[in-house]
């Protein structure tokens, strides 16, 4: 009779002592590298947006106006403040080598075949000339802001309102929409 309660205890201990073992094994499973890369990009974008918002606080928000000169003056002040705060910024601060590789993987399938030819044609038609590929450079005034074809944009991580993707020829830039500033760029994003 004592064997039944003892057997129950042995089974109970075996089951519950194995739970931490399974939890430990599950915890040691390596994370998805793509998820880690996307998470790293989001962290970098969030850090930039925090810097952007601090610069807006320092400069002050632009009061609603229809005067283009006032708008340009506010935009320039914000761009200068951000550039000063990012004086050591360099290409690859947001588009790291891992992120560049992942973005190329995300873009490549949508640039093949007939749809890919159409997307490339849209990018080529919209491409302005003489855009500097330089971090903290102001996007040239009067140059078109080429649209990013929807089939490409849908595959890239969503950006906050302060930033946008633009494709210039076959290069990808990350542009601050309020400061009109090139935050980072990725050469040869499109094959």
Strand partners of residue 185: 173
Instruction: Please report which residue ranges of 86-145 form alpha helices under DSSP H.
Output: 97-107, 113-126
Between 176 and 119, the more confident residue is: 176
Residues 133-180 pLDDT 10s: 999 999 988 877 887 777 778 889 999 999 999 988 888 999 999 999
For residue 127, the 8-state DSSP code is P
Contact (Cβ atoms closer than 8 angstroms) between residue 102 and residue 38: yes
Separation of alpha carbons 23 and 117, rounded Å: 49
Give the position of tokens 């403040």.
81
For residue 28, pLDDT over 90 is answered with no
The predicted structure's pLDDT at residue 58: 93
Strand partners of residue 173: 166, 185
Angle at 136 between CA 131 and CA 139, to 5 degrees: 30
The predicted structure's pLDDT at residue 16: 38
Residues 29-79 pLDDT 10s: 666 878 899 999 999 999 999 999 999 999 988 778 888 888 889 999 999
């Amino acid at each position: 009779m004592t064997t039944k309660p003892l057997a129950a205890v042995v089974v109970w201990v075996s089951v519950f002592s194995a739970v931490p073992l399974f939890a430990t094994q599950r915890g040691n499973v390596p994370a998805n590298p793509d998820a880690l890369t996307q998470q790293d990009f989001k962290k970098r974008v969030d850090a930039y947006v925090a810097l952007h918002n601090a610069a807006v606080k320092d400069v002050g928000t632009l009061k609603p106006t229809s005067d283009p000169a006032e708008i340009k003056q506010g935009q320039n002040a914000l761009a200068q403040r951000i550039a000063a705060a990012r004086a050591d910024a360099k290409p690859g601060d947001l588009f790291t080598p891992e992120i560049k590789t992942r973005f190329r993987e995300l873009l490549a399938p949508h640039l093949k075949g007939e749809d890919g030819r159409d997307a490339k044609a849209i990018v080529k038609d919209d491409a302005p000339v003489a855009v500097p590929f330089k971090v903290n450079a102001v996007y040239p005034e009067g140059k078109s802001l080429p649209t990013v074809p929807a089939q490409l944009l849908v595959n890239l991580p969503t950006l906050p309102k302060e930033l946008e993707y633009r494709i210039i020829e076959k290069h990808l830039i990350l542009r601050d929409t309020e400061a009109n500033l090139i935050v980072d760029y990725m050469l040869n994003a499109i094959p």
